[in-house]
Amino acid sequence: MTDLQIGVVGCAGRMGINLLRQITATAGCAIAGGSERPGHEALGRDLGDLAGLGRLDMVVEADPRAMFERSAVVLDFTAPAATVAHAALAVETGANLVIGTTGMSADDDEAISQAARKIAIMREGNMSLGVNVLAQLTKRLASVLDDDFDIEIIEMHHRYKVDAPSGTAYLLGRAAAAGRQVAHDAVAKGGRHGFTGERRRGDIGYAALRGGNVVGEHTVIFAADDERIELSHKAADRAIFARGAVRAARWLAGKETGLYGMADVLGL
């Protein structure tokens, strides 16, 4: 049986290196190639040397097209503009796409949705099993508790993260909104500052913390008078996201079209 060929864009980043390692560690999967943006210092380096896997005789490429053509599935944890371009390239080459990129705009979302009419795309703000179970618990709890319970979501990440709140925080917030059967954007409340007035009943609040090398910590708080429920997940290693992404790639292989999430992959 032929191994599933998986490509990685942004392969020299923190997540990219973890993805390369996880592909190699997963039975039935093989690295189809890796690419980086033009001018990146890793261009031309052997992928195996880059990820500490031993020489693989494949180098980091500047033009990802050939890699997409070799790949059944490509993993993308890059940046919004790059991800939109990669989705278009996936449509042109017929590769399916797993997207972990966060901080995307409404226009970016629409571009991904359009691409998913022609290929299969699995997109999620967090690929870990634990976080996706947490999202299901959040949805269930929100459906049971009424607006007497205020919902607040707190997240913390390393100092280098460029978007806030995190994609995982929004994943949890949208799960809470779905549980209450309300439109997320109508009740979402970003970071508070200055004289804000009292909290509006039914809002879902977000707070983002940044510092150190924190991989990712998320807590959903349901706070009512005299009682509080907290659901938390703490990630200690990016390898958990890489494991989820490769699992998603294996699930996505052979799918024809559609936009999927980790709940589909995990059968939640």
Residues forming the active site: 157, 161
242: Cβ contacts below 8 Å, ≥ 6 apart: 15, 18, 19, 21, 22, 127
Token pair of 105 as six digits:
């705009």
Query: Taken in order 164, 128, 171, 13, is the CA torsion positive or negative?
Result: positive
H-assigned helices in 94-201: 106-115, 129-144, 167-180, 184-187
